[in-house]
Structure 1
Amino acid sequence: MTDRLFNKVAVITGASSGIGRSIAEHFLNEGAKVVVFSRRSELLEELEAHYPARTLVIDGDVTSEEDLLRLSEGTKRRFGRVDILVPNAGLARVIPIEDSSRSAIDETFNVNFHGALQTVRTFLPDLSEGASILFISTFLTQVGFPGLAAYSASKAAVKSLAQTLAAELGPRGIRVNSIAPGPINTPIWSQVGLNEEQLEGVATQISQRLISGSFGKPEDIAETAVFLASDAARFIVGQEIVVDGGYTIG
């Protein structure tokens, strides 16, 4: 532990597994106080048990205004302010264009875009001067991938939102950036709607374009998040940092 985030208060949504869970663990290891929010809060009990004085677990859904208000109020009661906000909660589904009904698209946008935007809006009164907001976008905004039109479009909207808020909130001393994960080995892959054989085929295809030949790990994103949330990144504003193992270089 280097205490790069010592005594900073961080809120992370979608923190029960994968990238969100790893970000929470890394922030705690760097001395932060962390509020973790997820629909499956029981998965965070172990994290709270390891850092009881610096961890607050709250269950809820980012698409619920009531749940977000409860998250904000619980954070204020426990820690009083927010220095780092990571609207990480996300949903990925493979939806061919012929199946891309309005309801299917709305489900993805409600979580990935509206959930992120409303999380930030809810916490605006609580963000301290010099606070950092980190959105999670995707490398797929730079390349095309069959069946992921809704997901990629929702994350492109998140990328644009981050750039706009960087300009809008900058006068308040709030830095806004985004991280674009590439192929990362997380549980989200098992939830996209493909069977095991299809997943293996996609993984093989993707891995051939990666410099290392294998998917990244959640900690690759978490370590980037630690840097962007720290004072070392104080002059980085409105940027998207792509962490994709070289996938998008050609």
Structure 2
Amino acid sequence: MQLKGKCALITGGNSGIGLATARRFVAEGARVAITGRDAATLATAANELGVTAIRSDVLDAQARSSLFDRIKDEFGHLDILFANAGIAKFSPIEETPEKDFDDVLRTNVTAVFLTVKAALRLMDAGAAIILNGSMAASTGSSQSSAYAASKAGVRALCRSLAGELSPRGIRVNVVVPGVIETPIWERTAVPPEAAAARERRLQGMIPLNRAGRAEDIANAVLFLASDEAAYVQGAELVVDGGVLGSAAAAPAHRR
């Protein structure tokens, strides 16, 4: 068991990548706490996995304080933080409300920073922080300005935090998912026909010719959280089926 005896917190752990990672961590022996805003999915995850499920909003300062007070009371300390909670909104620049842009940046960057800041009082040398990035930070996809900017911010945040926390023996890395089948796509308010067309277009970009699964990302997060990654610092682990590394091999470019 790679995480036996370790204590982990996963924000947004009640669905998608966060839930898959919680399942993987539990299987590897960790004590796990998850957060989310939906009480029903939190309860389901708690019943299935035996994790500590805490209803909490990453943007709520009081909720953050209460969250880490409870983690301290129940676990005493934290060995692993997976800052996974995030949102996605896609629209052409002319049709993007200022509030939507602000919401994405505040949730995906500001809240990640504040979550890490709050977690540090429970972390000692040997602890691992994993941030959830995205290939959108590099691909230049249309109608993704807010989301891409937020994930580029996550990349920069990781590097700065890694530099600052290295003297304390705390590692900070980013997992970079590609196109992954998760519930986040169902919350983007895209009409079904447009969603199907987007799925076909995205799959044509992927050299491995399939969308990823949440479990693919969970396996990568497990590595970054484990002692096997003890010398990995300030890095991006890309899990995208080859999009960033071998774009010319994608089905859309094959003859």
Q: Quick check: TM above 0.5?
A: yes
Task: Give, in whole Å, the separation in 1 of the partners of 2:31 and 2:173.
Answer: 21
Output the amino acid matched with 2:177: P
Task: Give, in whole Å, the separation in 1 of the partners of 2:176 and 2:103.
Answer: 21
Task: Give, in whole Å, the separation in 1 of the partners of 2:15 and 2:136.
Answer: 21
User: Is the 8 Å Cα contact of residues 104 and 150 (structure 2) preserved in structure 1?
Assistant: yes
User: Higher mean Cα deviation, 14-23 or 96-105?
Assistant: 96-105
Once the two structures are superposed, what CA deviation does each residue of 1:68-95 show, in whole Å capped at 9, x if it has no partner? 1111011010010000001110100112
2:7 corresponds to:
9
Question: Is 1:230 the equivalent of 2:239?
Answer: no
Q: Give the 3-state SS of the residue equivalent to 1:247 in structure 2.
A: coil
2:207 corresponds to:
211
Aligned with residue 40 of structure 1, among 21, 38, 41: 38
1:51 CA drift (Å): 4.3
- TM-score normalised by L of structure 1: 0.96
Aligned with residue 180 of structure 1, among 176, 187, 198: 176
User: Is the 8 Å Cα contact of residues 16 and 41 (structure 1) preserved in structure 2?
Assistant: no
Question: Is 1:31 the equivalent of 2:29?
Answer: yes
Identity of aligned pairs, percent? 36
User: Is the 8 Å Cα contact of residues 35 and 58 (structure 1) preserved in structure 2?
Assistant: yes
User: Is the 8 Å Cα contact of residues 35 and 57 (structure 1) preserved in structure 2?
Assistant: yes
1:194 CA drift (Å): 1.0
User: Is the 8 Å Cα contact of residues 42 and 54 (structure 2) preserved in structure 1?
Assistant: no
User: Higher mean Cα deviation, 81-90 or 99-108?
Assistant: 99-108
Q: Give the 3-state SS of the residue equivalent to 1:209 in structure 2.
A: coil
Task: Give, in whole Å, the separation in 2 of the partners of 1:30 and 1:20.
Answer: 15
User: Is the 8 Å Cα contact of residues 56 and 63 (structure 2) preserved in structure 1?
Assistant: yes
Output the amino acid matched with 2:147: Y
1:22 corresponds to:
20
Task: Give, in whole Å, the separation in 2 of the partners of 1:137 and 1:199.
Answer: 22
Q: Give the 3-state SS of the residue equivalent to 1:82 in structure 2.
A: coil
Matches within 5 A, 1:90-101: 90-101=86-97
Task: Give, in whole Å, the separation in 1 of the partners of 2:202 and 2:91.
Answer: 18
Structure 2 portions without partners, runs of 5+: 248-255
User: Is the 8 Å Cα contact of residues 7 and 79 (structure 2) preserved in structure 1?
Assistant: yes
1:66 corresponds to:
62
Q: Judging changes above 3 Å, is the alpha-carbon distance between structure 1 residues 182 and 51 closer, same or farther for their aligned structure 2 residues?
A: closer
Question: Is 1:129 the equivalent of 2:135?
Answer: no
Task: Give, in whole Å, the separation in 2 of the partners of 1:145 and 1:210.
Answer: 14
Matches within 5 A, 1:154-193: 154-193=150-189
User: Is the 8 Å Cα contact of residues 12 and 24 (structure 1) preserved in structure 2?
Assistant: yes
Output the amino acid matched with 1:222: A
Task: Give, in whole Å, the separation in 2 of the partners of 1:42 and 1:119.
Answer: 23
Question: Is 1:242 the equivalent of 2:238?
Answer: yes
Task: Give, in whole Å, the separation in 1 of the partners of 2:234 and 2:96.
Answer: 31
1:142 CA drift (Å): 1.2
Q: Give the 3-state SS of the residue equivalent to 2:124 in structure 1.
A: strand
Task: Give, in whole Å, the separation in 1 of the partners of 2:21 and 2:186.
Answer: 20
- TM-score normalised by L of structure 2: 0.94
Q: Give the 3-state SS of the residue equivalent to 2:139 in structure 1.
A: coil
Q: Give the 3-state SS of the residue equivalent to 1:104 in structure 2.
A: helix
2:195 corresponds to:
199
